[in-house]
A and B are shown apart, each in its own frame.
Chain A
Amino acid sequence: MNKTRSAALAALAVAAPLGLAACGGDEDGAVTLRYAFWDDNQRPALEAMIEEFNSEHPDIAIELEQNPWDDYWTALDTQFAAEDAPDVFWNHVSRFPTFADNGVLLPIGDRIEEDGVDPSIYPENLYDSWRFEDEQYGLPKDWDSIALVYRIDALEAAGIDPATVSDLEWNPVDGGTYVEFLRKLTIDEDGDNALSPDFDPENVVQYGTAMASATGQTDWWNFAAQNGCSLQTEPWGEYAIDAPECVEAIQFTADLYNRWGVAVPAEVTNQPNGALGAEHVVAGQAATTMDGSWMLGTYRDGLEPGTWAVADNPSGPVGSGSVINGLSNAIYAGTEHPDEAWEFVKFLGSEEAQAIATGMGSVWPGVSSLNQGFADYWAGEGIDVTGFQAAAEGTTIGYPLSMNDAAFGTAALDEFNQVWLGQKDAQEAAEAVVEIANAE
């Protein structure tokens, strides 16, 4: 039926000492660098940047290696084990601590200084998030935040003025104007909304929202930020999601499913195999969703211009807010071409390169001065994306920084999926996750 994975595991263990490392061909001094990434939406921008890079460095060829998010990290881990990892690769804050701690990343602090790269072109916290034990391991590639994406046509049909979306507020007691807004947008097959006495919750054709997040980044972490919960005691500290302000945010998320019935049921959206929020919005099964700025292309490609828009997240008891995050380009410590890899990473971190990506509407740039260019691209498409910026100016939290990210992630997915299904208590689940995640 199936081969056991242990065979693969063992095979790579054998391959490691044999040194099966393949490296770029060095005839006529040319070098080939392998560059790994995961997001298909960003491929065109990467290709455009590489083309520009090659006009200055024709002797450094770049080979793109793409794996989808889930496979990307297993592939990287096995490549590290086999000492055959890509020379340059996208790095994520959730994986960064373990990578840095285990020495698979090339420190670039000295090179930054020697080449006079100016770190002040990046937001300070974005640049510093790639720092580990006083050494720098990457240059910011981009930043992202979470904002409210909504269907204008659905709002108009429900008689809601889109201008009021940025003023929505929620609270854990009665849900606030945000829940009222979502109930107006939850419609059954007779056209009655969830506020109507005739509403039939068994036959809903459009839900107010869809939430689907394997981590919490695009669902409850945002409510957590808006409720004063920061997931950890401090960066690098213990997980603290069993604190009352965190449990309230988890409970509020569960309420959207089970108490208010305004979210696409968790039976359909639970990760990792459920459909994403964007898919439900594009299909018209949900009127809104909280989503990441990296997903804009999906809405652009799936919906007619002028039928959707972006707004700041609703405000919670502590204020508006969002999870902000960013990626960096990192260099593999075992690369055979550290100088060329640094040239490439330096270029990818430059204003010149990132202007290419923002000009294509790919991602919010790591270089602060280019934010306007990104907003301009989307304004040209008829979409006001400044909601992501507004969200990023609120009470933000970053991705938790921890060596135990894997244990936390798995436990959180297991436990909270059951909470969203209404089968587990929020407090109990939070305590179970904390116990597992802080154990190691």
Chain B
Amino acid sequence: MQIVHDIDRPPRQSAASRSRPARRWDPKTAVEAYGMLAPSIIGFAVFLVVPILVVVALSFFDWNFLSDPEFTGLENYRELAGDERALQSIGNTFYYVLLNIPAQTVLALLLALALNAKIKARGAFRVIYVLPWMAMPVALGVIWRWLFDPMNGGLNRFLELFGIDGAAWLTDTNWAMPVIASVNIWQYTGYTMLFFLAGLQAIPGQLYEAANVDGASKAHQFFRITLPLLRPAMLFVLITSVIGSFQVFDTIHVMTAGGPDGATATLNYQIYLESFTQRNAGYASMLAVLLFAIIAAITLAQVLFFRKRTVYDFS
């Protein structure tokens, strides 16, 4: 039977773990353990921790790559208030995330439900939906750019068959961002679906059997059994895909390069433009710190939101 408890409380300990002897400090084992850990710790420090600290430090400097960085204190942070392009890019980022996450999550969930049912060629469908995620985003971006080309592109030629005049998708300030978002939804929905699929398969079948016996409708079963029990999968999916969409870069770079008129320049893209086309490495570092703060705040909010909820343990 199911046991309900709060995640804040430690889970019920099994007999095996309780009877395990207390650990003792053993210098020989410690050396061995740290020796084994060293490659990953060093890699983590050199390629992640140090660069992050350097970026934070650089955000207080002016640096054009060519001559020595010059300390300017909080100047970069103060400049942000008057930088229309940077502020626009923050707005663009949230717009993109809002276009991307709800659609991608709902679609992935629906797909997972469909492919969890006993249908023919289920395995083949699962592979097909994951394929876009396996392909290279830059190559996909190039192909999608061709498809969206207003003159020679496949999409507008197809629409023409029905007498519809397709838009100039990627050069129209209103269309460009939804188009970018839809390409990324297409690309990542299959991948997201995998986590929901795994979550669905972890739900014990007897719950549905019992619900059927009690005469619960399918909709009722979905909202009362499936959705609550998918919460761990949902938490993981939302955290990773929200972080991922705040960091979108390659699709934008290849399809619009931040245009038209800055309409698809997200904060992450603005960091690239500031550093690598304008040579404002210090200012770009400030934007990177800002992006980090935004993502950290949103991730924290998500974790807090989900932690308050009940989880179920069937062990």
Q: Which residue numbers of A lie inside 8 Å of B, CB to CB?
A: 1-7, 9-11, 13-14, 74, 77-78, 80-81, 98-99, 102-104, 264-268, 270, 272-273, 285, 406-407, 409-410, 413-415, 417-418, 421, 423
Contacts and interface: CB of A to CB of B under 8 A. Distances in A.
A78 B276 CA distance: 9
Interface string B141-165: 0000100011110000000000000
17 contacts: A2-B249, A4-B249, A5-B268, A5-B272, A6-B271, A6-B284, A9-B58, A10-B55, A10-B58, A77-B276, A103-B67, A268-B149, A268-B151, A406-B279, A414-B262, A415-B261, A417-B261
Contacts of B188: 1
Interface residues of B, number: 56
B65 A80 contact: yes
The listed residue with most A CB atoms (<10 A of its CB), out of B184, B257, B277, is: B277
| Chain A binding surface SS class | helix
Contacts, number: 137
A102 B64 contact: yes
A12 to B, nearest CB: 8
A6 B256 CA distance: 20
Nearest to A272: B257
B171 interface: yes
Nearest to B291: A4
Given A5-B272, A273-B256, A410-B273, A81 B66 contact: yes
Contacts of B54: 10, 13-14
A14 B50 contact: yes
Contacts of A285: 151
Contacts of A74: 276-277
B25 interface: no
Interface string B25-69: 000000000000000000000111011101100100000111100
Most chain B CB inside 10 Å of its own CB: which residue of A4, A14, A264: A4
Contact of B277 (A6, A9, A11, A406): A406
A227 B173 CA distance: 32
Nearest to A99: B66
Most buried by B among A2, A81, A266: A2
Interface stretch (B202-210, B226-234, B240-248): B240-248
B171 A80 contact: no
A6 B281 CA distance: 9
B151 A4 contact: no
Given A3-B247, A81-B66, A267 B168 contact: yes
B259 A11 contact: no
Contacts of A418: 260-261
Contacts of B64: 98, 102
Given A2-B244, A410-B278, A78 B272 contact: no
B243 to A, nearest CB: 8
B255 interface: yes
Contact of B278 (A7, A80, A406): A406
Nearest to B59: A6
B75 interface: no
Interface in B64-91: 64-67
